[in-house]
Amino acid sequence: MPTILLVEDEAVLGETLRYNLEREGHTVLHATDGVQGLELARSSQPDLVILDVMLPRLDGFSVCRILRTESAVPILMLTARQDEVDRIAGLELGADDYVIKPFSLGELLARVRAILRRGQRDTAGLQRELLQSGELKVDTGSRRMWRGNQEVVLSAKEFDLLACLMRHRGMALSRDLLLERVWGYEFIGDSRTVDVHVRWLREKIERDPSQPEYVTTVRGIGYRFQSPEDVPAPAHS
Ligand code: CA
C-alpha cells in the first residue's frame, strides 16, 4: 500500500485530501509545516510527497530543494500562483508535477494515481535497460545516470524523460507523446511542462545548455535525442 506524505497547513484542505487519499487505499502521513514535513519524509520514506508551497516554518520551495538533494521521491506541489509554476517545474527545485489551487479533487487524485503507477512500474524491475549514447549512460534498473564517470542526479521525471528520449534515439517526439509516455496522462492542455523539464534536463546533461548536443528541439513538434557523434561533420571544402 503506497504511503503518501501530505504537507499542507490549511486544515480543511488537508483533511479533505487526507480523507480522499485514504479512501483510495493509501496510507497518509500529514504534516502541517515544512520542518515537520521534511522530518517525516526522512523518517518514513514515502512513495510520494504532496507539498504545499506556502507553509509555516519552512516553505515548500525549501523543503523540495532539500528533499531533492537527498532522495528521488516523486514530489507533487500545490501552488496558489500561476507565476510560481516556472520555479516549481524549473531548474532549481525539481518537483515532478504540480497543481494550481483551486484544483478539483478528481484532477489531483488522477495525478497521484499516474505518479504512483509510474513508480510501481519502475520498481517492478521487469525491464532493466542500459541506455548509452555519447558520454551518457542510463541504467533504468537502478535509476541512475552518468555523464562520463560523473553520476548525475536527476529527478524522477527528468529521468523518465531522458530514458524515453534515449529509447527513441534519432526520432522526433512530440510534446503530446512525451506527456503521455512520461507523465502517463492527458495533461490538461499545458505542454509547457515538457519544455520546462527539457530545459532543466539540459542544464544537467549538456555541456552548454544553450547549444544542446543531446536533446535537440524540433521546431513545431517537440524534441529529438541524438548523440554528438550522430551529427555528420560538415564536409570540408
Ligand atoms: Ca499553505
In this chain, the answer to whether the domains covering 3-124 and 130-230 adopt an identical fold is no
User: Which three cell numbers mark 234?
Assistant: 560538415
CA of 11 to the centre of ligand 1 (A): 9
Q: How confident is the model at residue 197 (pLDDT cuts 50, 70, 90)?
A: very high
Q: pLDDT of 129-188, one tens digit each?
A: 788 888 999 988 788 899 998 999 999 889 999 999 998 888 899 998 898 888 876 555
Classify domain 3-124 by CATH number: 3.40.50.2300
Taking a C-beta distance cutoff of 8 angstroms, is the pair 84, 93 a contact? Answer: no
State the CATH class of domain 130-230. mainly alpha
Give me the residue spans of the domains in the chain: 3-124, 130-230
- Ligand 1 centroid to Cα of residue 160, in Å, is 29
Give me the chain's average pLDDT, please: 86
Grid cell at residue 145: 545516470
Distance 230 CA to ligand 1 centre (A): 48
CA distance linking residue 57 with residue 145, whole number of Å: 34
Query: What is the C-alpha to C-alpha distance for residues 43 and 149, in angstroms, rounded to an integer?
Result: 31
pTM as predicted: 0.57
Q: Which class for 201: exposed (0-12), middle (13-18), buried (19 or more C-beta within 10 A)?
A: buried
